[in-house]
Structure 1
Amino acid sequence: MSTHQGKVSREIKDHIFLIGLDRVEKRNAFDSHMINDLSQALTEYENNDQLRCAIIFAHGDHFTAGLDLVELQPRMASGIFSDDPNIINPWGTSGRKRKKPVIVAVQGFCFTAGIELLLNADIAIAQDNTQFAQIEVQRGILPFGGATVRFVQAAGWSNAMRYLLTGDGFDATTAKSLNLITEITTEAPLTRALVLAQHIAKAAPLAVQATLAAAKDATSLNEQEAFQKLNQYLQPLLSTEDVQEGVMAMVQRREPKFQGK
């Protein structure tokens, strides 16, 4: 395999799955190989009950320079995402839906598909040196990884159009003001992401997944429908071993040890 083909690294730390974009010589630009490997890695994460939180980060100085259009353009007409219903689409625009939390940690260049990847995450950490740009209109295409929906939802119509229609770049402070990222850090973003992932991994896994599902309902359903579904998520939790552990830990004034059961 050519070293220029993209892939992702995998590392497990306790209940945390670290997924690293690894095409440093191309500033981690997404080719079809890296898209496929990232899909596979997220599917592995979703299928492994021992893993409670995933972090997507990047090797090298840059998160991603965006899409490798030279390699991807011939494939775009037929689609570059897997149509396998068992595979997770990292951008969440089609296929199997992710049920477990993901944190994205970015630095350096975070262009196009990189922004869309963090918009589909649950928490996004950016180093203060991060440069963002949604430049598809400058390449003759439109954002097709979710920005036309999620950028607008996060930033509001006119704020999103300011960048979607021009392709202009912006910095981490602006990204934070647009609600695209959760936090700005001066340290390596993976360091901060790991702290947050450890907090998530200590919580009850089934409760985390239920909270995530209920919150996602709020973005896709109206308020009344979202509220009506809350009990569907709560009732199964009440019969779990974890809810009993949570109560006992509170009574005994100790840290709970959740098993995801």
Structure 2
Amino acid sequence: MNTRITVERRGPILLIGLNRPEKRNAADLALLEELAAAYGELEHDPELRVGLVHAVGDHFTAGLDLADIGPRIGPDGLDYVVEGGINPWQLEGRYLSKPVVMAVQGTCLTLGIELVLASDIAVAAASTRFGQIEVSRGILPFGGATLRFPRAVGWGNAMRWMLTGDLFDAAEAHRIGLVQEVVPDGEQFARALELASRVAAQAPLAVQAVLANAHLAVRSGDAEAERELQPELVRLVGSEDSVIGMQAFVQRKPAEFVGR
């Protein structure tokens, strides 16, 4: 049976591929469950430092496969996080401790935008078309867009697209800050891999500390995050990676961090 998600380890990077191209990578329950499992693998494996989410075929995702998902939405919503998995949209009070880079192309609708919003760096192919079209289907975005879209791009920009359901292009996605880079079609994966490799080359404990403190500021406010800055600095200075980083600086050579 074909898997809905491909998983490939490339050194410390976990490549996570949406793999239902015959349906423009529309997400049925199987895809959501496999995606949650892949995120769990990224989180729990100490050898992995960064995730790179991409898509097989011409399109990133056409959003939810409503024919499959609709009947599965019960009184408590939709349950798709398998044992050991992590909600890829991170809406349960728990964030990934490791960064995720996204490479998108073709059609990127609804939950695709919400995956971008829940990630850390996003690269888009120039011809990508985006749409937060839930209002056109009589539902609301339930993967985090109502929370994160206004924070990421500003209230007016977010509402312009969420309340109309209109499609927008990669240039607009870049203008408002939804994606960080736009590249020629076909180059999005390679560029995303370059960025993921750059992140993976940094000190893992420090990368995770940056993410954790930024998430804490969003979740609990600046004051909570401020209180953690000095204790985190002390913890990191005592790490083996800090010694490696300082030695590399003095010796003017690249650091090879060990994650301890």
Length-normalised TM-score, structure 2: 0.95
Quote the residue 2:202 is aligned against.
Answer: 203
Determine if contact 2:33/2:82 at 8 Å carries over to the other structure: no
1:99-120 superposed Cα distances (whole Å, 9 cap, x missing partner): 1000111000000000000000
2:26 partner amino acid: A
1:11 & 1:87 partners in 2: Cα distance? 17
1:35 partner amino acid: L
1:160 corresponds to which of 137, 158, 162 = 158
Q: Secondary structure at the match of 2:233?
A: helix
Determine if contact 1:21/1:28 at 8 Å carries over to the other structure: yes
- Which consecutive residues of structure 1, in runs of 5 or more, have no partner in the other structure? none
1:36 partner amino acid: E
2:110 & 2:56 partners in 1: Cα distance? 18
2:83 & 2:207 partners in 1: Cα distance? 24
- Which consecutive residues of structure 2, in runs of 5 or more, have no partner in the other structure? none
Q: For residue 43 of structure 1, report the CA deviation from its aligned partner.
A: 0.3
2:256 & 2:156 partners in 1: Cα distance? 46
Determine if contact 1:85/1:96 at 8 Å carries over to the other structure: no
Q: Is it true that 1:225 corresponds to 2:249 in the alignment?
A: no
More divergent stretch after superposition (77-86 vs 60-69):
77-86
1:99 & 1:51 partners in 2: Cα distance? 11
Quote the residue 1:213 is aligned against.
Answer: 212
Q: Percent identity?
A: 48
1:89 & 1:62 partners in 2: Cα distance? 22
Quote the residue 2:259 is aligned against.
Answer: 260
Q: Is it true that 1:10 corresponds to 2:19 in the alignment?
A: no
1:59 partner amino acid: V
Quote the residue 1:139 is aligned against.
Answer: 137
Q: For residue 254 of structure 1, report the CA deviation from its aligned partner.
A: 1.1
CA separation of 1:96/1:157 partners in 2, compared to 1, >3 Å: closer, same or farther? closer
2:114 partner amino acid: E
2:100 partner amino acid: V
1:23 partner amino acid: R
Q: For residue 79 of structure 1, report the CA deviation from its aligned partner.
A: 2.8
Q: Is it true that 1:176 corresponds to 2:174 in the alignment?
A: yes
Q: For residue 96 of structure 1, report the CA deviation from its aligned partner.
A: 4.0
Quote the residue 1:239 is aligned against.
Answer: 238
Determine if contact 2:32/2:80 at 8 Å carries over to the other structure: no
2:52 partner amino acid: I
Quote the residue 2:70 is aligned against.
Answer: 73
1:62 partner amino acid: H
1:149 partner amino acid: L
1:168 partner amino acid: D
Alignment of 1:15-26 (within 5 A): 15-26=12-23
- The number of residues matched between the two structures is 258
Quote the residue 1:193 is aligned against.
Answer: 192
Q: Secondary structure at the match of 1:232?
A: helix
1:246 & 1:96 partners in 2: Cα distance? 29
Determine if contact 1:54/1:102 at 8 Å carries over to the other structure: yes
1:166 & 1:100 partners in 2: Cα distance? 34
1:184 partner amino acid: V
2:83 & 2:231 partners in 1: Cα distance? 24
